[in-house]
Chains A and B, each alone.
Chain A
Amino acid sequence: MKLQIAVLVLASALTAAAWGRNVDLSTVPNRDSVQLTIYNSEDLTLVRETRTVTFKKGTNPLQFSWANTLIDPTSVELRFLSNADKLEVLDTTFPQDKPQMLYWNVQSDFDGEANLEITYFTSGITWSADYLLVADRDEGQAGLEGFVRVSNSSGEEYENAQVRLVVGTINLVEKIAQLARIPMSEVDGLRSDDKDRYRQLALRDVAVTASGLGGQAPVAAEAPPRVIKEGLSEYFVFTIEGTQTIPNGWSKRLRSIAAQDVTLKIQYRYRPQEYGEELVRMYLLTNDKDSKLGTTPMPDGVVRIFRDNGRDGLSYLFSRPIKYVPIGDKIELNLGPDPEVIFELVKLRVFRDDIWMKMHGMDVFRRVDDGAGQIEVKSDVAGWDEHAVFSQRIRNYSARPIDVEIRRSFDGHVVFRNSLKATLHDYHTVQFTTTVDAGKKTDLLFEVLSHEGRNSKQNNVTLEDAQIQP
């Protein structure tokens, strides 16, 4: 343990300057309990530890040191859990020559024991989430397990710690790791009022909602520790049941979610802006109770996706990162293209009409096919309509019918002519869907009419029902 508190046993009350000299004798009270509240959006952990210290009446110097750890010295706070009315911190001193140490001068009105709580921020302890999804053979349902992995590279070993994991994005004005590596005198120079106020608020908020510390027995070995979830302001807190020891340099992964028979839907999507220029196969789930989920938000993490291959084994499909999924929201997993589904866009023909000429030197326009006879040689094309007829060909060689959703975006003033019951996803993006039976093909015909030059009046797409011939 590199982090320790020492009660300095001295003949009389000393000045801060005197502590800079050699200390004759000290006692080192052990930790009674420790709680780690780890934020995943920042390299930040709030440590709350309790110790029992015996005070004598008068002034008691306490030394707190954290050599070779990543503690933010500006965040260290001392609070008395017992006899608080008889104890008072007179001052806190950060010695110039010992950067990872501080002294508290505690005034005691009694002789006896008191419980202390020391809180501080440290960096180097992180947690992350990941998920394992195993679809059944028919891909109608899946088992979903969520895990939290806590990694400790803080330089300190926190034994039998209660671990709380905060899901959410917090604001920090400076990185804890940065503060931990500079002397206190320089931190003072950097510190702003806002930063300080935020720190105090953050400490108080989390401290108020923290459950009681210490004395918790390890959970029974026959069952994995449960991860208890609760909402807190804009955050969600996962509390791992019992206590955990994660030695410095180690990581530990625990299961946080276990759901079976989760409803799974498959959709094929063509959305170039999201998934690139290919039709991709999606697993769609919902984080709600109807889908056998919905007990907790799902923090950012990687989902590893497997499928029962029907041969007493698994097929590895893909690994995909997901963003935070609130309760009730959708989980969309892109599995990439399916070699059994062929998706082709074929341009069948192109033609132009409604061509307008502009006379040279004049602000006069004439339509080419208006029957007015020969148009002046000295004229240029100033506007026209460009028609392109497409076939969206889909061949499904898989063993099941597939649902396909297609989004296509067009720039400029465009009319999308079709009989596909297309809708507008946004002002320039058309969306249409179809189902292709197993072993079948389909040709979805549409025409894109683009108003060009002076014919262009808008920058949007309008839909028009029309039967398009191949």
Chain B
Amino acid sequence: MKINRRIGWWIVWVILASAPAAAQARIKLITLPVRERVEIQLDNPSATLVEEERIIPLVKGENQADFSWANTQIDPSTILFRVIAPVGEKNIDVQVLSVSYPPNEASLVWAIAASDSGSARVRISYILGNLDKSFSYRAVAARDESALTLYQYIRLENLANEEFGSTGLWAGFGKRFLRPIGINETKEILMEKFQNVPVRKTYTCDPQEFGYIDPAQKKLRVPMHYVLKNDKADNLGSAALPFGKVRIFIAGSGADQATTFLGEDWGRFTPIDDEMRLYLGVAQDVVVKRTIERNEKIRVAGHLFNRDIIVKYEIQNFKDKPITLDVWENARLIRDEVGGDNGRDVQWDLGDQTNFDGGLDNQKSTFDKLLFHVPLPARDQDGKAQTITRKLHLIVKNEW
């Protein structure tokens, strides 16, 4: 194994047992123990832990182990030195007496006592900067977009100015990999391949989040998403999905099965049982016109009033497939839109003219965010799209 010149390790035999060790141990006969094993632990979200093992020769009495790190970002306060086991038949007792830190040097000196001459396997661990990881995904959807294959990659970027030979890599989940990593090298490794992951294709309008595509005509923007659920039933769910870019392709139909790129999005950190929602683009074949049809103040007492509001949606699906449109509204924003913001939360009831299929989605709605679903038929054979009209009748109560 190659001796590294940036992170250095050497063992010094102190000849004069009574000498002040740290002060006098700078010019000595030294040995250079090589790395026997290196593990890079990538499970901490913001720090990379390197653990390396070496077999160090020891003489009976006091020994010095110097550790130095030139031009690398080792956090010296995190350096751990542990004796794992003696090597060979001798049962040597090895103990760390002290650690000394010389001035103006990226190094330290361990004073190590050995009960007998021999060797010991030791492990040194430290947090190393500029050795960073990230995750990315490649999703290939089936032609009918009902399922996809998700490839999860880990990318390791080594700007730590240190090279590692065959090194164990572990991200905190999934498999452990054994790979060498050179200086300034970026290594991308396939961590998992999730096959036959059901994909739900959604069309959503939400004035608060996505706004209007044509404000003058009151036409809402309708983005299309792929939604994956990170659970076992959907062939995922073995661990949280870390944040990363997702590139989405669709399988080809020709003989060469060449895929077509559909788009890309940032996949947010997705815990088990949560959904990863990937934005693919605006669905221009789905037209949603939103108007406030009614806005009436109804006095309750003095300056206390209720407000009777109807939001009307005229929806057309120009696709040749039926789809379901998700309609989100924010009750507070509707109140603010017609009556201004008074700083108070909205107390509301649904009025009897609300005509969404299935009513309010109680699972996902909250006190101010309201979700409805609208099934939309495909355009007919003449190419004409049916106009579906839905209304949200909101009675905002106890306003002043």
Chain A residues within CB distance 8 Å of chain B? 130, 132, 149, 151, 159-160, 218, 221-225, 245-255, 302, 304, 306, 309, 311, 313-317, 319, 339-340, 342, 346-352, 355, 357, 366, 368, 374-381, 384, 386, 388-389, 395, 397
Best-buried of A245, A316, A348 by chain B (most CB within 10 Å): A316
Interface 9-mer from B91-99, B181-189, B205-213, B285-293? B91-99
Cα(A218)–Cα(B17), bound, Å: 10
21 A-B contact pairs sorted by A residue (CB < 8 Å): A218-B18, A221-B97, A247-B22, A247-B23, A250-B103, A252-B22, A253-B98, A254-B98, A306-B125, A313-B41, A315-B172, A317-B44, A319-B78, A340-B271, A347-B367, A348-B366, A350-B346, A350-B367, A352-B347, A352-B398, A377-B302
Closest 3 CB pairs of A and B: A249-B103, A379-B302, A245-B20
Cα(A253)–Cα(B77), bound, Å: 11
- A residues within 8 A CB of B98? 224-225, 252-254
**B 31-72 to A, binary, CB cutoff 8 A, 1 in contact else 0:** 000000001010111010101000000000110000000000
Q: Do the beta carbons of A350 and B125 come within 8 Å of each other?
A: no
Q: Do the beta carbons of A395 and B47 come within 8 Å of each other?
A: no
Nearest Cβ on chain A to B304's Cβ, whole angstroms: 6
Task: Known contacts A252-B100, A375-B301; decide if A355 and B398 are in contact (CB<8 Å).
Answer: yes
Residue on A nearest B48 in the bound complex, by CB: A316
Cα(A319)–Cα(B172), bound, Å: 19
**B 290-303 to A, binary, CB cutoff 8 A, 1 in contact else 0:** 00000000011111
Nearest Cβ on chain B to A372's Cβ, whole angstroms: 10
Cα(A379)–Cα(B299), bound, Å: 12
> Any chain A CB within 8 A of the CB of B115?
yes
Cα(A464)–Cα(B103), bound, Å: 63
Cα(A224)–Cα(B111), bound, Å: 9
Q: Do the beta carbons of B51 and A375 come within 8 Å of each other?
A: no
Task: Known contacts A132-B80, A347-B366; decide if A225 and B22 are in contact (CB<8 Å).
Answer: no
> Any chain A CB within 8 A of the CB of B345?
yes
Residue on A nearest B84 in the bound complex, by CB: A312
- B residues within 8 A CB of A245? 20, 22-23
- A residues within 8 A CB of B41? 309, 313-316
Q: Do the beta carbons of A250 and B113 come within 8 Å of each other?
A: no
Q: Choose among A224, A368, A384 the residue that contacts B96 (Cβ–Cβ < 8 A).
A: A224
Cα(A112)–Cα(B17), bound, Å: 36
Q: Do the beta carbons of B100 and A381 come within 8 Å of each other?
A: no
Residue on B nearest A339 in the bound complex, by CB: B240
Residue on A nearest B115 in the bound complex, by CB: A222
Cα(A156)–Cα(B43), bound, Å: 45
- B residues within 8 A CB of A302? 77
Q: Do the beta carbons of A314 and B304 come within 8 Å of each other?
A: no
Cα(A351)–Cα(B20), bound, Å: 76
- A residues within 8 A CB of B368? 347
Residue on A nearest B346 in the bound complex, by CB: A350
Q: Do the beta carbons of A342 and B271 come within 8 Å of each other?
A: yes
Cα(A160)–Cα(B20), bound, Å: 8
Q: Do the beta carbons of B49 and A314 come within 8 Å of each other?
A: yes
Task: Known contacts A130-B77, A314-B125, A388-B345; decide if A255 and B96 are in contact (CB<8 Å).
Answer: yes
Task: Known contacts A316-B49, A355-B304; decide if A222 and B93 are in contact (CB<8 Å).
Answer: yes
Cα(A389)–Cα(B301), bound, Å: 26
Cα(A374)–Cα(B61), bound, Å: 98
> Any chain A CB within 8 A of the CB of B261?
no
Cα(A309)–Cα(B300), bound, Å: 64
Residue on B nearest A377 in the bound complex, by CB: B302
Cα(A277)–Cα(B292), bound, Å: 37
Task: Known contacts A316-B78, A368-B301; decide if A388 and B23 are in contact (CB<8 Å).
Answer: no
Residues 75-124 of B at the A interface (beta carbon under 8 Å):
77-78, 80, 93, 95-104, 113-115
- A residues within 8 A CB of B101? 149, 151, 250-253
Nearest Cβ on chain B to A242's Cβ, whole angstroms: 10
> Any chain A CB within 8 A of the CB of B371?
no
- B residues within 8 A CB of A317? 44
- B residues within 8 A CB of A355? 301, 304, 398
